[in-house]
Chain A
């Protein structure tokens, strides 16, 4: 997907509306999950998973990464994946310290 083609590109209107519905539904689901009492770790894992799915939908469809060149996708995704790895390392370290 790009504005920079000679011909008018095909419309993605249907996909945009589907993604809108998915984002709205997942937001409602997130709010429902947040009110679940107990099962804190399961709630947290579910909320993170839902947030990552929503973020991926925005990046892939609204920001057009799905239709971009592979190299551009790599340049974007790898640096932004590193903080997630760093967060996992910190969580692991924290759990390890508490167990120890």
Chain B
């Protein structure tokens, strides 16, 4: 793989994979396997919920749709800043790319703050204080496992962004590496779209 000084990376065309680099193919393989982990969790969630006589027990709080919709919008915004960071890096607009990466990391940090507030409360009592306690019901346990697993991805993605940003500012990370970072970040956004629908929006039945 060749890199022009701070310019777009080059990669020879392949008959099957076009100009996808080995790094990009490896990232996609990782994302597919990670996606299957989420699929396993969401299928287990669906089975438990579908087979339960009572999903939300008396005393357990409802999940806040409006607040979480705000977090969803925040992640979508961070995906947009990420694609524009990649475009800027491709054009060697280094300051703009760095600022957009920082904005994306800020979006991730705010999402985590929102999730912390949802769990433990900042300006209001969190779910744990309102009676949604891990281990007390399938409703509570699956909620914390699924959203917590996703939250770990947001945390690791935010750290990944900050590390890549530091390397980019030092000149050791390229646009191609920002594209790989973007794939991970958009995956986190994509998974949240499904988690938001399945865990928060699907109404209690029947």
Chain A residues packing against B (C-beta within 8 Å): 2-9, 11-13, 16-17, 20, 23-24, 27-28, 30-31, 33-35, 40, 43-44, 47-48, 50-51, 54-55, 58-59, 62-64, 68-69, 71-72, 75-76, 79-80, 83, 86-87, 90-91, 94
Q: From B69, B174, B179, B193, give the contact of A54 (CB < 8 A).
A: B193
**A75–B18 CA distance with the chains assembled, in angstroms:** 14
Chain A residue nearest in CB terms to B177: A3
Chain B residues positioned under 8 Å from A20 (CB to CB): 76-77, 80
Assembled-state Cα–Cα distance A20/B73 (Å): 10
Q: Which of B43, B201, B206 is close to A87, meaning CB atoms less than 8 Å apart? A: B43
Interface residues of B in 100-120 (CB under 8 A from A): none
Interface check B157, CB cutoff 8 A:
no
Shortest C-beta distance, A74 to chain B (Å), equals 10
**B8 in complex: contacting residue of A4, A33, A40, A68, CB < 8 Å:** A4
Interface segment out of the listed B83-91, B126-134, B141-149: B83-91
Q: A2-B20, A54-B193 are in contact. Are A75 and B28 (CB under 8 A)?
A: yes
Interface size in chain B (residues, C-beta < 8 A) = 66
Flag if A94 contacts B76 (CB, 8 Å): no
Whether B151 sits at the interface, judged by CB under 8 Å, is no
For chain B, residues 153 to 190, give those with C-beta under 8 angstroms from any C-beta of chain A.
Answer: 174-176, 178-179, 182-183, 186-187, 189-190
For the A-B complex, the count of residue pairs with Cβ-Cβ distances under 8 Å equals 152
Give the nearest-CB partner of A4 in chain B: B11
Chain A hits for B178, CB < 8 A = 3
Residues of chain A contacted by B31 (CB below 8 angstroms): 76
Partner of B197, one of A23, A48, A62, A94: A48
Interface pair B87/A4, CB less than 8 Å apart: no
Q: Does B50 contact A (CB under 8 A)?
A: yes
A4 to B178, alpha carbons, bound, how many Å? 12
Contact of A27 among B17, B69, B83, B186 (CB under 8 A): B69
Q: Find B84's partner among A13, A47, A79 (CB 8 Å cutoff).
A: A13
Task: Specify the chain A residue showing the minimal Cβ separation from B87.
Answer: A11
Contact of B76 among A23, A44, A59 (CB under 8 A): A23
Q: Does B66 contact A (CB under 8 A)?
A: yes
A40 to B197, CA, bound (A): 14
Cβ contact within 8 Å between A2 and B76:
no
Residues of B close to A27: CB separation below 8 A: 69, 72-73, 76
B65 within 8 A of A: yes
